[in-house]
Amino acid sequence: MPSRPPSICQCGRAVPYGVKCVCRQERDRENRARHEAKRQTSRQRGYTTKWEKARAAFLKAHPRCLHVIDGETCGEPATVVHHVIPHRGDPKLFWRKSNWLPVCKACHDGPIQRSERRGDGARVHPFLPRPRIPVTIVCGPAGSGKSTYVREHAGPDDIIIDLDEIRARITGLPMHAYAPEATTAALEERNRILASLATDEEHEQAWFIVGAPEQAERDLWARKLKADVVLLDTPLDICIDRILADPARFGQHERMIGYATDWWQRFDLDREGGIENAVLAPYRTPQSCAELSDPEKGILSYGA
């Protein structure tokens, strides 16, 4: 089989296929040297004797790696306390124990760091450890009643994880206000909370609200969180009526209706094969307080 021809570098050299030119190698060395020159020492970044004591105590309480590989918890001896949200010198994030995750060095230096380097894609679907408490994922379009469903089913000792609520808390704006500049911070905080479920001893159950119009996304979250899934496929016309009638969405109608419409378009494209192993989950609608029995208008629930 003939080999590929060499490429011509910007410096004019002919370079064999798959090989980095010596000028690029030199630039890479210079870039690394500049980075290391600017990089703070580990002590300056907060890794002091106080941290070593806190780290040792945390790993003693959580001795196994909680990183999930192919749906299974790693389980190797944990030697690293990973900060789920990179602290970047923020002492509050550095010392917040719910931002700590026990992992082995192989997981930390491999898939976890690769996930962080991928950026926003990894924020949307992060690597997560197996939760200690049961998780229910509630999916559906804007206006489908996800928040209402969770309020009616969550107990007083449960935790509710909702990106809209987190974004509002971060920005100080109303619940459904448009704040795209806060999305990255909100996703990082959501992922921190999801990861903290692995060591959560305060709550009985977690409820995770997410749109997830495609079956593949719902299945992905279910595998990551070992969760049950409730799908509220509320008809689009009902979603629109609820959006228009909701005072909290005043001034956001066009955008929210757009979200609901987009959800239904993606759901319809995805649903041709149906939802396997789906069973009805009883739910009382705000309008009638009657249990739904029609899977095309009601609520579907299935396990991970």
Tell me: pLDDT of 165 over 80.
Answer: yes
- Across-strand partners of 7? 15
Tell me: pLDDT of 59 over 50.
Answer: yes
* CB-based contact 46:87 (threshold 8 Å): yes
Tell me: pLDDT of 98 over 90.
Answer: no
pLDDT in the model for residue 117: 64
Read off the pLDDT of residues 185-223 as tens digits, 9 standing for 90 and up. 888 889 889 989 988 989 999 999 999 888 888 888 998
Q: What is the mean pLDDT of the chain?
A: 79
Q: Is the pTM of this model over 0.75?
A: no
Distance separating alpha carbons of residues 224 and 127, to the nearest angstrom: 8
Tell me: pLDDT of 278 over 60.
Answer: no
Of 226, 207, 214, nearest in space to 141 by CA = 214
Domain extents for the chain?
1-31, 51-124, 135-158+203-302
